[in-house]
Structure 1
Amino acid sequence: MNTHQIYHNPACGTSRNTLALMRHCGVEPQVIDYLKTPPSRQELRQLLAAMGLGVRDILRERGTPYAELGLDQPHWSDEQLLDFIEAHPILMNRPIVVTPLGTRLCRPSERVLDLLPEPPKKAFVKSDGEAVLDDQGRRLR
């Protein structure tokens, strides 16, 4: 089993940049397109526990049925929110990265660097042109 995983949406720029940063650091993760292969309820619980987050912490609002479903209302229980994520995987924010160093929702994408080996001594620039690493592999922010 691959010890590095990314719950990925290829249509998401942050997710694509996170995957590119992983590969830049020499890590080829298991890429899980969570819209096609959603995590099970148990996997979601394990991911949340590993990140130290609650279900509401991983709900995505933009580009999802969040508002239409009224998920901003506080009366929804965690179990009900998990039901919504199971029915609409797009509600799960991404990317979530799992490595031997931890599990994290990597927004912004450079948060993944805390979970990876030392980057190579070369620059990395996101797809939008924002520099993340200098030519010595040092973080710029």
Structure 2
Amino acid sequence: MSEYTIYHNPRCSKSRQTLELLQKNGVEPKIVEYLKNPPSEKELTQVLKLLAIKPQDLMRKKEAEYKESGLNDDTLSAKEQIKRMIENPKVIERPVVFTKTKAAIGRPPENVLDIL
């Protein structure tokens, strides 16, 4: 099993480019299509910790689901934001590549080279 995992959306060009870049560098990551299989609260919390960012920084704020789910409410706790992100995985930025000790957002795809 691969040490690397990618939260992947095959319909997203940046996600496809990031996966291709990983493979060109000899990495065959575990692919998690997070829209079909959202991360657990524990997993998403760990990824945020590895990225050293707040939940808001991993959200796609232009998605309709962002406002529809109330994620634009500044009074939500981090725990509540994470819960809503899992319920509405389309708002999670993609792609995210991570191991047990490091993570990167593949925007641009070359960002993931820092963790290889």
**TM above 0.5:** yes
AA at the equivalent of 2:92: M
Partner of 1:52: 52
What residue number does 2:104 align with? 104
Q: Does 1:10 align with 2:10?
A: yes
Q: Deviations over 1:53-112 (max 9, x none)?
A: 111110112334113334233112112211211211111111110147721112111101
**Where do residues 9-48 of structure 1 align in structure 2 (5 Å cutoff)?**
9-48=9-48
Residue aligning to 2:93 = 93
Within 1, Cα distance between the matches of 2:12 and 2:64?
13
For normalisation by structure 2, the TM-score amounts to 0.90
Q: Structure 1: how far apart are the matches of 2:27 and 2:64?
A: 30
Query: How far apart, in 2, do the equivalents of 1:41 and 1:101 lie?
Result: 18
CA shift, 1:39, in A, is: 0.7
Distance 2:41 2:64 in 1: 19
RMSD (Å) for aligned C-alpha atoms: 1.6
Unaligned runs of 5+ in 1: 117-141
The 3-state SS of whatever aligns with 1:65 is helix
8 A Cα contact 2:65 2:91, kept in partner: yes
Secondary structure, in 3 states, of the residue corresponding to 1:18? Answer: helix
- Greater fraction helix: 2
How far apart, in 2, do the equivalents of 1:28 and 1:114 lie? Answer: 16
Aligned residue in 2 for 1:63: 63
Which range moves more in the overlay, 64-73 or 40-49? 64-73
Q: Is the 8 A contact 2:69 2:88 kept in 1?
A: no
How far apart, CA to CA, are the structure 1 residues paired with 2:25 and 2:64? 32
